[in-house]
Structure 1
Amino acid sequence: MPPKASLNWGLLPPSFLLPSSARCLLQQNASQISRPTIAYTSIRTIKSTFKPKPDRFAHDPSKPALNSTSTAALERKAHSTPLRTGLLAQKRGMTAVYDPETGKRTACTVLQLDRNEVVAHKRREKNGYWAVQIGAGQKEARNVSRPMLGHFAGAGVSPKRWVAEFKVRDEEGLKVAVGETVGAGWFTMGQWVDVKAISRGMGFAGGMKRHGFSGQPASHGQSLMHRGMGSAGGSQGSGSRVLPGKRMAGNMGNESVTVKNLKVLQVDEKNGIVVVNGCVPGPKNQIIRIQDALGKPWPKGPMTVAELAPVEILATTGDAKTTATAAA
């Protein structure tokens, strides 16, 4: 049934329905009044007694609502975006480090960096965000596709086995030029890092191993159901179905895992080794992403490769300059 048209109570009926006397009056009034008659339709509403609530999309009730532009989105994420790039490393295994003063034993993981080089820069005006693309390892050219060969050749680096992007806050994080090599000295002892990797795949696992279920009672009446999951769904309460998101048996592991706030215990620039306390996801030789911790104050580390130059090389260069000056 079509909706009924609203009634315009302020309008007069058509002129042919009016008597002649009223028609004459209307003509006189129309000649005297220059402005046209505006129809008015009343709208019935309910007046609320509650005060208007602040915008739920505003980060502070006293401030205006956030913008929906990409620039505003980057500004909102600026406080949690690292200042500099991270690096790629391989997990070599776990060991222990003893404190010579207290004798305390600390379990740690050994990570080794393998020829980390800057492959490309991602810029705000072209790509929509700021990021540094890092390549690590080595790969034979015959096993690399032609587009990737051209990508590596444009950066002036050898074909890499792993390539990853690390977002940075602004253009200051792009001070590491394309083609430069970054070593283990990028991280300093005592700083905090976040590591991200693919966890060990354990295949198909039951509810007890995968989710920590307690299983069924090991008493009389239980037959071959000691490690069973039990009921998966109710009857009337849940609509005689299994609710979405129910924890059940399935594939365990082989997913991206991030371990936050690991402390750097040792750094070996010569061998490219970084030792962090605690465990790191993944099996041995798993590729690991290391980056400055988001939940800790930003470290006062180097921002360029020039700041990583060893002291011995600088001293030798200074002696060479002194000798050349004396000879001249």
Structure 2
Amino acid sequence: MSLGLIGKKVGMTRVFTEAGVSVPVSVVHAPANRITQVRTPEVDGYHSVQVTYGDKKPSRINKPISGQYAKTGVKAGRGLSEFRLESMPADSLKVGTELNAALFSVGQKVSVSGVSKGKGFAGPVKRHNFHMQDATHGNSISHRAHGSTGQCQDPGRVFKGKKMAGQMGNVRVTTKNLEVVQIDTEKDLLLIKGAIPGAPGADVIVKPVIASEVNLPSGEEPVTEDVQQEEVAQDAA
């Protein structure tokens, strides 16, 4: 995992390229993320950075979390999130350091995680894209029903995972390989190509995509930085 940012989904709009092509983008407001804790292998067994962002009334924070903020001297935020790292960066991030939108670059691929919009109790047609049954020909009240749910006495039950009606949405979702189109460091805005999970105003986590998550054609492998440097050296020779 790599270091990312916590932000708030503002909504969607569009931007135009120099060629006049309209590009749909999601706007993420990512104000300065404050580091509240740095975990190390010596103490915790792994590398990670814990951050918070935004503001929250002290009266809305319970005593354990309030004590953690007081111990570190960091202003209380909307919540705490942790980014696990393979190794600590050379500059050694410290408690109180602020991370902003400059962490990303235009054209970079990112993953966005958030809680999807809740749709309530939904039928199989809406929830799982089932085909509708006949509108007539003897069908009375089963137009949007899922039909058979399994066999008879053997096995005598419905298998786990069967697609049926039920709660739709309001689950943790991650959308990968989205491109950063624009960055406004003055307003702390990230413009990301395409749609991202969640309703406007929801918290989202934006992280760089690692090489193993990039969609590549069948049979191809991600090119590492060492291989790229070797190819450049061969071309120069």
Question: Which band: TM-score by shorter chain?
Answer: 0.7 to 0.9
Of 261, 264, 269, the residue aligned with 2:185 is 269
Between Structure 1 and Structure 2, whose CA radius of gyration is higher?
1
Matched, 1:89 2:32: no
Distance in 2 between the 1:145 and 1:170 partners? 32
Measured on the aligned residues, the alpha-carbon RMSD in Å equals 1.9
- Greater strand content: 2
**Secondary structure of the residue that 1:270 maps to in structure 2?**
coil
Of 192, 199, 202, the residue aligned with 1:286 is 202
CA deviation vs aligned residue, 1:61-82 (integer Å, no higher than 9, x gap):
xxxxxxxxxxxxxxxxxxxx33
Unaligned runs of 5+ in 1: 1-80, 301-328
Residues 131, 174 of structure 1: 8 Å contact kept? no
Q: Could you say which residue in structure 2 is the equivalent of 1:160?
A: 77
Distance in 2 between the 1:200 and 1:164 partners? 21
Distance verdict in 2 for CA 1:224–1:215, change over 3 Å = same
Q: Give the partner amino acid of 2:151.
A: G
Q: Give the partner amino acid of 2:179.
A: K
| Structure 1 length-normalised TM | 0.63
Q: Give the partner amino acid of 1:275.
A: L
Distance verdict in 2 for CA 1:267–1:277, change over 3 Å = same
Q: Could you say which residue in structure 1 is the equivalent of 2:23?
A: 106
Distance in 2 between the 1:192 and 1:282 partners? 19
Q: Give the partner amino acid of 1:105.
A: S
Distance in 1 between the 2:55 and 2:90 partners? 25
Residues 132, 174 of structure 1: 8 Å contact kept? no
Q: Give the partner amino acid of 1:169.
A: E
User: For this pair of structures, how many residues does the alignment match?
Assistant: 216
Aligned pairs (5 A) from 1:106-255: 106-172=23-89, 175-236=92-153, 238-255=154-171
Q: Give the partner amino acid of 2:53.
A: A
Distance in 2 between the 1:86 and 1:188 partners? 12
Distance in 2 between the 1:282 and 1:183 partners? 21
CA deviation vs aligned residue, 1:173-225 (integer Å, no higher than 9, x gap):
78221101111111111111111001000000001110111121223110111
**Secondary structure of the residue that 2:102 maps to in structure 1?**
helix
Q: Percent identity?
A: 35
Unaligned runs of 5+ in 2: 215-221, 226-237
Distance verdict in 2 for CA 1:260–1:245, change over 3 Å = same
Distance verdict in 2 for CA 1:282–1:174, change over 3 Å = farther
CA deviation vs aligned residue, 1:94-136 (integer Å, no higher than 9, x gap):
0001112x21111000000133100101112222221110101
Distance in 1 between the 2:80 and 2:91 partners? 17
Residue 156 of structure 1 deviates from its aligned partner by 1.7
Distance in 1 between the 2:193 and 2:72 partners? 35
Residue 251 of structure 1 deviates from its aligned partner by 0.2
Residue 145 of structure 1 deviates from its aligned partner by 1.5
Higher relative CO (CA 8 A, sep ≥ 6), structure 1 or 2? 2
- Greater helix content: 1
Q: Give the partner amino acid of 1:201.
A: G
Residue 162 of structure 1 deviates from its aligned partner by 1.9
CA deviation vs aligned residue, 1:127-172 (integer Å, no higher than 9, x gap):
2221110101111112212221221122221111121001111122
Q: Give the partner amino acid of 2:40.
A: R
Which consecutive aligned stretches of 4+ in structure 1 deviate over 4 angstroms post-superposition? none
Q: Give the partner amino acid of 2:12.
A: M
Q: Give the partner amino acid of 1:243.
A: F
Distance in 2 between the 1:215 and 1:155 partners? 58
CA deviation vs aligned residue, 1:285-320 (integer Å, no higher than 9, x gap):
11000111122479x9xxxxxxxxxxxxxxxxxxxx
